[in-house]
A and B are shown apart, each in its own frame.
Chain A
Amino acid sequence: MVSFLDEVKSTPGGKHILACIQCGTCTGSCPMAGSMEYPPRKIIAMIRAGMRDEVLASNSMWFCLSCYMCTARCPRGVKPTEIAHALESLAAQHGFRIGGTSTPPLYRSFVGSIKSNGRVHELGMMVKFYLSILPELISHPVAAIKMAPLGLKLFLHRRLPLMPTRIKGRGDLSKIIRKFKEVRGNN
């Protein structure tokens, strides 16, 4: 059985996690630390303590803005931003359900748009996202209605085209993704 620490270490950005000295520069630099269940320094400590379920079920990494401030400032080269992305990927692949944040459905709508068109169709992505959080929108109708003028403004300024741009190579792109999964799975 692979330990949780090894699982994180084997991801593209997770290899420096053992260098962490728990100084807390990451947490001090994070604009979202206050919203996270466990801020960045603590998450790193929890990964090293093998607390897999607690970490992957938390909302912490989903609040990462990818601003890379922690990564730029870390005195040990740990790259907490990359660790956050790795945790998101692990949580998504292993079907962890995360409460209290709509970021996972937003990301799924975004990736879905890439997979069907080859490019992101922002209007389609937004519609799909809002439909996916429909129950929440219905329980907050005022907040939902307030979003409409914003979308309309973007639309009226030609910034939300109705139709997606579809690339010729979208079939190729799907084949590349499928083949890559197969190759990674065998190794």
Chain B
Amino acid sequence: MKYYSFFPGCSAESTGLGLGLSAEAIAEPLDMELVELEDWNCCGSTPYGSLAEEESIAVAARNLALAEKRGLDLVTPCSSCYVTLSKANRHLQEHPTLLAQVNEALAVADLEYHGSIRVRHIVYVLYNDITPESIASKIKWGLDGLKIAPYYGCQLVRPDYGLDDTEFPHTLDRLVECLGAEAVDFPLKARCCGGSLTLSEEDRVLGLIRSLLQSAAENGAQCLVTPCPLCQTNLDAYQSRVNARFKTSYKLPVLFITQLIGLALGIEAKSLGMNTNIVSPREVLDYIYNRINYMTTHQKVDKRG
């Protein structure tokens, strides 16, 4: 068993509910214990850092200080929380004056941060600690034949953390492949989906979402997987807006990587929050279940034979 402090992020309770549910559901079968950081606050995300850059570091620091009490790595399934907490952490570790000022502020809540916490994304934990080999040994149903476009988005790979290539990453591809599925060629796998500007500048960013769907579809993907709740919402909820605007007819389900792993582990679709997906993942589920039925029938035949 491997132990981590867990930072779900605000999205995991709302727009990214499927991510929160599936991340927790796959933990135990993969021998991870994700202990939720008690009374965590929002990391601040891009908006806080944009309106008050330094203040946002103090907001993120409360979480780092809470995590330091337990001393375990702080793992988040959200790409935005990951970049925000990592960046704040690095600023505090590299700037002793800022750290001292933040600590003066944290002291009003009886907290203190020394800079010892490691912030990690669940994708890198799955890849580096749990390992694709070990996940492969634990899956119940191989997803053989399922064609998937692995969509990294931006903040899992950029700025450069040194954990994967910043433009042509492979981590998510390996996680998809260890489940038996095929990771299709997807040249736009680390290009931007429009981020939070879909809300304020939809007209200007809808084309970015379209390019991603187009690239995935042209390469034969049956669905996309991503770890990022904002990417998922943009690709999933805005897919009908893309279709209306560009006269296209995309119907590509967008799953969280944790949902896909959960399906391969044999976890019930509902526990993985599959019913929170807007573009119905029915065809993907049918593909998996039909294959399971086929395999179990054939196993029976083999035994009889």
Contacts and interface: CB of A to CB of B under 8 A. Distances in A.
Contacts of A172: 62, 108-109, 111
A175 interface: yes
Interface string A47-81: 00000000000000101011111011000000101
A96 interface: no
Interface of B: 10-11, 13-17, 39-42, 44-55, 57-59, 61-62, 83, 91, 95, 97-98, 101-102, 104-109, 111, 154-155, 158-160, 166-167, 191-192, 194-197, 199-201, 204-205, 208, 233, 237-238, 240-241, 275-278
Given A150-B241, A172-B109, A180-B101, A65 B158 contact: no
Contact of A71 (B59, B158, B238): B158
Contact of A129 (B50, B199, B201): B199
Q: Do most interface residues of chain B lie in helix, strand or loop, or is the interface mixed?
A: helix
A55 to B, nearest CB: 15
In this complex, which of B13, B106, B191, B233 has the most chain A Cβ atoms within 10 angstroms of its Cβ? Answer: B13
11 contacts: A13-B53, A72-B167, A85-B46, A88-B50, A89-B49, A89-B50, A106-B47, A158-B276, A173-B59, A176-B109, A183-B104
Nearest to A153: B278
Contacts of B45: 110, 120
Given A108-B51, A110-B48, A165 B13 contact: yes
A165 to B, nearest CB: 6
A180 B102 CA distance: 6
A153 B237 CA distance: 8
B108 A175 contact: yes
Interface residues of A, number: 68
A179 B62 contact: no
A118 B42 contact: yes
B105 A183 contact: yes
Nearest to A160: B14
Nearest to B46: A66
Interface in A25-45: 31-32, 35
A180 B98 CA distance: 10
Interface of A: 11-13, 31-32, 35, 61, 63, 65-69, 71-72, 79, 81, 84-86, 88-89, 92-93, 101-108, 110-111, 114, 118-123, 126, 129, 146, 150, 153-154, 157-161, 165, 167-170, 172-173, 175-177, 179-181, 183-184, 187
Given A154-B15, A159-B276, A167-B41, A179 B197 contact: no
Nearest to B153: A67
A155 B233 CA distance: 12
B62 A176 contact: yes
A169 B240 CA distance: 39
A159 B17 contact: yes
B262 to A, nearest CB: 17
A180 B54 CA distance: 9
A187 B101 contact: yes
B159 A157 contact: no
A37 to B, nearest CB: 13
B53 A86 contact: yes
Contacts of B52: 89, 92-93, 111
